[in-house]
Chain A
Amino acid sequence: MRISHPKDFLTGAMFILSGGAAMAMSAGLTIGSAARMGPGYFPFALGAFLAALGAILLLRSLIAARKAQAWPVLHLKPLAIVLLSVVLFSQGLRPLGLVASTVGLVVLASTASHEFRWKEAFLNAVVLVVVVLAVFVYFLEFQIPVWPQLASGRI
């Protein structure tokens, strides 16, 4: 059997999986009755509905009646770099402080572009550190660690 609509097929699979997961997890909660719904009632019904929708999508994607569709093309480099830079920022903010995390985020995220240049990225990072310190730390007075924890203890 050939899959003529891969995007519908994958969406169907995603709906079935998430609907199934919702049903499984709701089953562990109190379902209750229609008159006295427990916390599991509505999510269980939604999960079943979602899984059913997914099943229709999945079956329909196998029928080659309509014009065939291409498989999605993934470019993993920008995805991975952008997400990684955000996650690293979240992990680094507390121990390293805002200044170091900003430089890290900006430089790392910049490498995702096909026009990346080291010098330019660093310059951009320096400018943004100044902007961020001025706007968020001094003007809006956000409570945010600025310097690495060790250094701030000594000053």
Chain B
Amino acid sequence: MELLSNLALGFQTAVSPLNLLYCLVGALIGTLIGVLPGIGPVQTIAILLPTTFALPPVSALIMLAGIYYGAQYGGSTTSILVNVPGEASAVVTCIDGHQMARQGRAGAALSIAALGSFAAGTFATFVLAVLAVPLSEFAFKFGPAEYFSLMVFGLIGSVVLASGSMLKAVGMIVLGLLLGMIGTDVTSGAHRFTFGIPELADGIGFVSLAMGLFGICDIINSLEKRETRDILKGRLTGFWLSRSDIRASAPAVLRGTLCGSLLGILPGGGAILSSFTAYMLEKKSSRSPESFGQGNICGVAAPESANNAAAQTSFIPLLTLGIPPNVVLAMMAGAMMIHGIQPGPRVIASNPELFWGVIVSMWVGNLILVLLNLPLVGLWVRLLSVPFRLLYPAILLFCCIGLYSVNNNTFDIGLTALCGLLGYVFHKLECEPAPLILGFILGPMMEENLRRGMLLSRGDPAVFFTRPLSLAFLLMAAVLLILVALPSIRRSRESAFKEG
């Protein structure tokens, strides 16, 4: 019953006219930006973060969650219609979704993507609501040693996800941790790595780093490729699913939802891993695996449900433990901190209204997407036909104005250009920026917990191995590392990333 009263509190917050409006606006502009080819949720959140600064924290988070879902939904729209995935998690949607579109069934593909996502979102919201309270109470038992080990586990988990070399991904994490050290040390007040620049005393702005590495860098990369796009011409019709479509895809939605809900909670999990897994699971369990890649509706239903379910459940580790399991959630964590909320087990107790409001608004956001985006899909398609040469200066401009508004100074804009250059170098060297962002977010917390843990144990590092929970996290991290290093798993991991 407590669950119901909590959800009721959430509803009260989420459906207040103003918050409903922000949820709507977030979902709309999230789709608007996310629909642009090559721009996924991470880039969208990076670009739109500053627009939420003027709002109170609850509304800002609701709007950000809306932006997140909108962007993800927009990404699948682009995958189906243009065959250019906006983000990694939509790669598998391309395979069958675009084939369906070529066969004149784009409407059905978009409908099942939306409805499957909504069904999955509804289920995952409940999972989140049920698990949140016990997990956060569990997290209160954590001491600094447990937190430190949990963060190690989380960071290693994100490496498993990186598609390139493991060594490089670990290096990127460490580089991110180091970047997170820039600024004033909280314990001693000493300035670290500030190069005597006063603006760096507060550290590198999260918005600058994220926008540089994802927003600006991706524009430069797109300008290098002179790609031609395969935009679907003609009117979109046939959004209604036939009875056989529903019969075929309903079990796929269910399997995708379960798979996504489970994988979303794991560190390093989230939308990308779950959509790949759901697709492969669907193909393996299907009676006609050869029809996958030819426009099988299950090949759209399963990964789309899975990535939405995972998108929702991946909030669990962030909101209950304070550990972002993937980059998108790292962006959300960064956004929460900017609004003065430290993600972690205390959020539920100290800000119940915010916590439950955000959870319920995720569900409301999904509903809005179904009700609004299917009718609006024609508009999104028209947006796709706006040439990139007109769009990217606009995106750059909005980034710059947004950056200026963060602190009302121009230093952040210059810093972003520098981060863009850094992102370009990483891209050329095939180093993924995602682990770096995670390291950057976790760096200060990790150091603080390490210091506290070692202080309590009087400098004895054995504390991380003698406390059972801490040891369990470290062992899990070690198992993950060994698994990824094993040759057979390494090969299948590489082929999984290539399938797209």
Q: Which residues of A contact B (CB under 8 A)?
A: 7-8, 10-11, 14-15, 18-19, 22, 25-26, 29-30, 33-43, 46-47, 49-50, 53-54, 56-57, 60, 72, 74-75, 78-79, 82-83, 85-87, 89-91, 93-94, 98, 102, 105-106, 109-110, 112-116, 120-121, 124-125, 128, 131-132, 136, 140, 142-144
> When A82-B420, A102-B397, A105-B397 are in contact, do A90 and B410 touch as well, CB less than 8 Å?
yes
13 A-B pairs with CB atoms under 8 Å apart are A18-B175, A35-B457, A39-B187, A47-B178, A50-B178, A74-B428, A82-B219, A90-B413, A91-B414, A113-B388, A116-B389, A124-B393, A136-B405
Contact yes or no, B410 A57, CB < 8 A: no
Contact yes or no, B405 A142, CB < 8 A: yes
Contact yes or no, B171 A79, CB < 8 A: no
Query: How many Å from the CB of B214 to the closest CB on chain A?
Result: 14
Within 8 Å CB of B392, what residues of A? 109, 113
Within 8 Å CB of A136, what residues of B? 401, 405
Q: What's the Cα separation between A121 and B387 when bound, in Å? A: 12
Q: What's the Cα separation between A56 and B410 when bound, in Å? A: 39
Contact yes or no, A112 B181, CB < 8 A: no
Contact yes or no, B420 A83, CB < 8 A: yes
Within 8 Å CB of A56, what residues of B? 167
Query: How many Å from the CB of A12 to the closest CB on chain B?
Result: 9
Within 8 Å CB of A98, what residues of B? 401
* Interface status of B126 (Cβ within 8 A of chain A): no
Query: How many Å from the CB of B159 to the closest CB on chain A?
Result: 12
Q: What's the Cα separation between A53 and B416 when bound, in Å? A: 27
Q: What's the Cα separation between A39 and B219 when bound, in Å? A: 37
Q: Mark B425-466, 1 if CB is under 8 A from A, else 0.
A: 100111100000000000000010011001101111100000
B190, B399, B454: which contacts A29 (Cβ < 8 A)?
B190
Within 8 Å CB of A35, what residues of B? 454-455, 457-459
* Interface status of B201 (Cβ within 8 A of chain A): no
Contact yes or no, B178 A46, CB < 8 A: yes
Q: What's the Cα separation between A116 and B450 when bound, in Å? A: 53
Contact yes or no, A87 B417, CB < 8 A: yes
> When A46-B177, A109-B393 are in contact, do A34 and B220 touch as well, CB less than 8 Å?
no
Within 8 Å CB of B187, what residues of A? 39
Within 8 Å CB of B394, what residues of A? 106, 124, 128, 131
Q: What's the Cα separation between A106 and B398 when bound, in Å? A: 11
Within 8 Å CB of B389, what residues of A? 110, 113, 115-116, 120
* Interface status of B216 (Cβ within 8 A of chain A): yes
Q: What's the Cα separation between A132 and B420 when bound, in Å? A: 23
Within 8 Å CB of A40, what residues of B? 192
Query: How many Å from the CB of B2 to the closest CB on chain A?
Result: 39
Q: What's the Cα separation between A47 and B178 when bound, in Å? A: 8
Query: How many Å from the CB of B43 to the closest CB on chain A?
Result: 15
> When A43-B181, A124-B390, A142-B405 are in contact, do A14 and B216 touch as well, CB less than 8 Å?
no
> When A72-B428, A106-B393 are in contact, do A39 and B459 touch as well, CB less than 8 Å?
no
Number of interface residues of B (CB under 8 A): 63
Q: What's the Cα separation between A93 and B457 when bound, in Å? A: 52
Contact yes or no, A49 B174, CB < 8 A: yes
* Interface status of B239 (Cβ within 8 A of chain A): no
> When A72-B429, A78-B223, A82-B420 are in contact, do A37 and B450 touch as well, CB less than 8 Å?
yes
Within 8 Å CB of A57, what residues of B? 165, 167-168, 171
Contact yes or no, A38 B188, CB < 8 A: yes
- Starting from the known contacts A34-B461, A121-B393, 7 additional A-B residue pairs (CB-CB under 8 Å) come to A82-B216, A86-B396, A110-B393, A113-B223, A113-B389, A132-B397, A144-B405
Contact yes or no, A82 B188, CB < 8 A: no
Contact yes or no, A43 B192, CB < 8 A: yes
* Interface status of B73 (Cβ within 8 A of chain A): no
Q: What's the Cα separation between A125 and B390 when bound, in Å? A: 9
Contact yes or no, B429 A11, CB < 8 A: yes
Contact yes or no, B459 A89, CB < 8 A: no
Within 8 Å CB of A34, what residues of B? 454, 459-461
Q: What's the Cα separation between A93 and B216 when bound, in Å? A: 19
Within 8 Å CB of A110, what residues of B? 389, 393
Within 8 Å CB of A113, what residues of B? 223, 388-389, 392
Q: What's the Cα separation between A116 and B401 when bound, in Å? A: 23
Within 8 Å CB of A125, what residues of B? 393
Q: What's the Cα separation between A41 and B387 when bound, in Å? A: 51
Within 8 Å CB of B171, what residues of A? 11, 15, 50, 53-54, 57
Q: What's the Cα separation between A68 and B216 when bound, in Å? A: 30
Contact yes or no, B401 A142, CB < 8 A: yes
Within 8 Å CB of B461, what residues of A? 34
Query: How many Å from the CB of B193 to the closest CB on chain A?
Result: 6
B170, B393, B408: which contacts A143 (Cβ < 8 A)?
B408
Please give me the residue from chain B that is nearest to A37 by CB atom.
B451
Within 8 Å CB of B404, what residues of A? 90, 93, 142, 144
Please give me the residue from chain B that is nearest to A49 by CB atom.
B174
Interface residues of B in 69-125 (CB under 8 A from A): none
Contact yes or no, B223 A14, CB < 8 A: no
